[in-house]
Amino acid sequence: MIPLAISDIAWATTGPAPSVTEVDSHTSAKADGDTVSATAGGVVVFDTSKNGSGTSAGTVTSSSSWTPPACYYAPKYTPKELEAEMQQVWSSSAPSHEWILGSQNYFVNGDPYKDFNKDKADKGYWWDSYVTAGREGDPAAQDCDKRPFWVDKGDAPPADVPQAVTPEMLAQLAYAEIRVPSTKVDLAPDGTTKVNLPTWAWLDAAKFKPVSVTARVPLLGIEATTTAEPVSLKIDPGTGDAVTYPASGACQLNADKSIGEPYVKGKADETPPCGVKYLRSSGDGSYQLKATVTWKIHWTGTGVNRERSLPDGTFGADQDVVVQEIQSINR
């Protein structure tokens, strides 16, 4: 059963009140008689079976200032659960008398709800805020500061609650769960190259397939799947004494979904479609070549008949490249 806790009682405007943050734990949820039950408090279920995996997989970062939501509203209490929770709060010494009277009017005395909506116990749920896992210290997590509110089954949440869980909100939450493969690129020469010698770079299509995460609220029968697809590779040589191919350093996706082109013997005099040429030795050390992949992200879900876009995401990794002072080499 959901732990009986009112999340972040920021609406206790007069006098101190208990402050409990409830974090969605990504687990199953269902309705069962007089309880809204969920393992360890989660209401959103994440299917990550098609996500990137392995120790080198990482989280994509939005290429804009947008971030997935730090908090949201979703079903949390039945009338009996909320009554038990509020009785516990009211009997504590923390809330002020004014706050207690205000909340009793709100939940019990008809302004706007009467007796916790017990007469509608099988017709809906009390919604309250959750904090997205991993965002507990984010100031944006305090944006969900409304009192718990009632939503009838089958009804949309109030239009004035932008953080209410919807398929679009689920898509944004799934975005935060996306994990993509490491962006270590194949290089030729690999690891050690020469001054003024073009180094070819590429990513195998088999290693960079689309990944996706599905987020569901079983209690509401809604879901959304967010998918990330690699679209380009950005090469940063790690020094200003270098030339990238192409000049922008941005290598585009090929028709077969690979990026760049593997070097094969006999192409020593050709310009790689994706790569770098170092103009100065790295001395006794190495340069940190950074390869960053841009992922196009889109989603679809309940009630959505076409793919919708979310901001592109990026994920990069560094790798050592030793550059030696030799002007030419036979391949």
Average pLDDT over residues 256-270: 89
Question: Which is more confident, 11 or 153?
Answer: 153
Does 37 score more than 50 pLDDT? no
Q: Please report, to the nearest 10 degrees, the dihedral formed by the alpha carbons of residues 115, 117, 121, 125 taken in order.
A: -130
Quick check: 18 pLDDT over 70? Answer: no
pLDDT over threshold 80, residue 120: yes
* Gap between the Cα atoms of 133 and 127, Å rounded: 18
Joined together, the tokens standing for residue 79 give 């009338």
- Calculate mean pLDDT across residues 293-310: 96
- The predicted-structure confidence for 215-252, as pLDDT tens digits, reads as follows 999 999 999 999 999 999 999 999 999 999 999 999 99
β-bridge pairing 222-236 and 250-252: antiparallel
Question: What is the rounded distance in angstroms from the CA atom of residue 139 to the CA atom of residue 135?
Answer: 9
With contact defined as beta carbons under 8 Å apart, do 41 and 3 qualify? yes
Rounded mean pLDDT, 309-323: 95
Query: pLDDT class for 60, splitting at 50, 70, 90?
Result: very high
Mean pLDDT of the 174-185 span: 90
**Average pLDDT for residues 37-58, to the nearest whole number?**
77
Give the global pTM.
Answer: 0.82
Convert the chain into a string of H (helix), E (strand) and C (coil): CCCCCCECCCCCCCCCCCCECCECCCCCEEEECCEEEEHHHCCCEEECCCCCCCCCCEECEECCCCCCCCEEEEEEECHHHHHHHHHHHHHCCCCCHHHHHHHHHHHCECCCCEHHHHHHCCCEEEEEEEECCCCCCCHHHHHCCCCCEEEECCCCCCCCCCCECCHHHHHHHHHHHCEECCCCCEEECCCEEECCCCEEEEECHHHCCCEEEEEEECCCCEEEEEEEEEEEEEEECCCCCEEEECCCCEEEECCCCCEECCCCCCCCCCCCCCEEEECCCCCCCCEEEEEEEEEEEEEEECCCCCCEEEEEEEEEEEEEEEEECCCCCCC
Short-list 184, 224, 228, CA closest to 207: 184
Confidence of residue 56 (pLDDT cuts 50, 70, 90): confident
Looking at the DSSP bridge assignments, the partners of residue 124 are 152
Distance CA 250, CA 292 (A): 9
pLDDT at residue 31 in the model: 42
Q: How confident is the model at residue 181 (pLDDT cuts 50, 70, 90)?
A: confident
List the single range of 39-53, 56-70, 163-177, 214-228 with lowest mean pLDDT: 39-53
The yes-or-no verdict on residue 33 having pLDDT over 80 is: no
253-287 b/e (C-beta count within 10 Å ≥ 16 → b): beeebbbbbebeeeeeeeebbbbbbbeebbeeeeb
Residue 207 vs residue 151, higher pLDDT: 151
Place of tokens 């002020």: 96
